[in-house]
Amino acid sequence: MTTPATPPPAGYRALFDLTGRRALVVGAGSGIGREAARALADFGAQVGCADRDLAAATDAAGQAGPGAYPMQLDMMDEAALTEAAAGLPDLDVLVFTPASNVRKRLLAYSAAEFDQVMHLNLRSSFNLVRAFGKGMVERGRGSIIGFTSIRAAVTEPGQGVYAASKAGLVQLLRTAAVEWGPAGVRVNLIAPGVVETPLTAPIRAVPQWYAAYADKTVLGRWARPSELAGAVVYLASEAASYVTGSVLMVDGGWTAADGRYTPPE
């Protein structure tokens, strides 16, 4: 006979309370990262706002409110990642969003462009997760949240290398979840669809392209960066205490729908 589930002593609302948690958002200078930092701070976490642009990181920390602090950090600098991890020995939550994309068909890609995309999206993510994950494993706790993309599952002409990097990130972080789960560290990913961020500015500048992507979602529009923040808070919190190795799709239904013809009733 199944024992009825009981809420935690403080009630279910308390599962989302991040008071006392120490979080670092890498890529907090703009877009999704900035909103993630604000949301984590709103739920009580002490948030470090890291970005390679210190002015942007400082502005983000100001928006996140009291207790938030800026940090200059370049994800592509492995030594800087190691140093940053050593300076944050009690980190509970790591969120990272930086990514690069060169939109070209495969036959037009250069080796340098391939390396550029793969270096930030995959190799630097590998270095970042290992730098901070080591301490989390040693302490026996932590939540790591990476940002992949719908391109890890579906692609289109001109997105091959970006898609490959994001699919690789999924398997990299799933492996971290498998290896570090026994130590109490959870590792998950969020997969956005089309979001109005600096990375997508070239697309949004072309009305037809912008509209085509909006129509591909079942909600008929692009996401705002703030609409990814709830997923970050959830995965960082005790509400997701049994969630690891997962990819949370936040894509407006893009990957749920196959085709757009609606047959008559």
Structural tokens at position 160: 């091959």
Say which residues have a Cβ less than 8 Å from residue 122's Cβ, sequence separation at least 6: 165, 168, 169, 172
CATH architecture of 18-252: 3-Layer(aba) Sandwich (3.40)
Degrees, nearest 5: CA angle 123-92-251: 60
Domain spans of the chain, in order of start: 18-252
Name the residue type at position 182: P
- Least Cα distance to 226 among 257, 197, 206 occurs for 197
pLDDT for the residue 258: 83
Residue labelled with tokens 């944050």: 88
- Least Cα distance to 176 among 163, 186, 191, 165 occurs for 186
pLDDT for the residue 7: 66
pLDDT for the residue 10: 78
pLDDT for the residue 119: 98
Q: Around 5, how many Cα atoms within 13 Å sit in the side-chain half-sphere?
A: 4
pLDDT along the chain (265 residues), means of 10: 64 95 98 98 98 98 96 98 97 97 96 98 98 98 98 96 98 98 98 92 92 94 97 98 98 89 70
Spacing of C-alpha 41 from chain mean position: 16
pLDDT for the residue 66: 92
Cα-only R_g, the chain: 19
Write down the number of H helices and E strands in the chain. 9, 7
Instruction: Give me the residues paired with residue 142 across strands.
Output: 185
Q: Could you count the other beta carbons within 10 Å of the beta carbon of residue 74?
A: 18
| Helix/strand/coil for 50 | strand
Helix ranges, the chain (H): 31-42, 54-64, 78-87, 111-118, 124-139, 160-180, 201-204, 207-216, 229-236
pLDDT for the residue 199: 81
pLDDT for the residue 232: 98
Active-site amino acid positions: 162
pLDDT for the residue 182: 98
Instruction: Give me the residues paired with residue 26 across strands.
Output: 50, 96
pLDDT for the residue 154: 96
Q: In terms of C-beta distances under 8 Å and separation of at least 24 residues, what long-range contacts does 105-113 make, across chains too?
A: 105/157, 105/158, 105/160, 106/160, 106/161, 109/160, 109/161, 113/161
Exposure string over 20-50, b if 16+ CB within 10 A, otherwise e: ebbbbbbbbbbbbbbbbbbbbbebbbbbbbb
Q: In which region does residue 159 sit, left (phi positive, over 0), alpha (psi from -120 to 50) or beta (all else)?
A: alpha
pLDDT for the residue 187: 99
